[in-house]
Amino acid sequence: MRAPTTEKPARRQTLKSARLARAHWLYSIEDVIALYLVSRQTVRNWMRYGLKAIEAQRTLFLGQDLNEFHARRRKEAKVPCTFEEIYCVCCKQKHSFLIEPFTVGQKGKLFTLVSVQCPETGGRTTKFVRESDLRRLRDLQKRNCSAQTPD
Residue 3 lies in a domain: no
pLDDT in tens, the chain (151 residues): 444 444 444 444 566 777 788 889 999 999 999 999 999 999 999 999 999 999 889 999 999 999 999 999 888 877 788 888 888 888 888 888 888 888 898 888 888 999 999 888 888 889 898 988 888 888 888 887 766 655 5
- Residues 35, 68 within the same domain: yes
pLDDT of residue 15: 66
Residue 57 lies in a domain: yes
Q: What number of H helices and E strands is found in the chain?
A: 4, 8
- Residues 144, 108 within the same domain: yes
Measure the CA–CA gap between 12 and 77, rounded to whole angstroms: 14
pLDDT of residue 32: 94
E strand or H helix at 113: strand 111-117
pLDDT of residue 82: 85
Residue 15 lies in a domain: no
- Residues 45, 94 within the same domain: no
- Domain of 111 in residue numbering reads as 85-148
Measure the CA–CA gap between 141 and 128, rounded to whole angstroms: 18
pTM of whole model > 0.85?
A: no
Distances (CA, A) of 100 to 25, 33, 81, 85, 106: 50, 42, 15, 10, 19
- Residues 91, 73 within the same domain: no
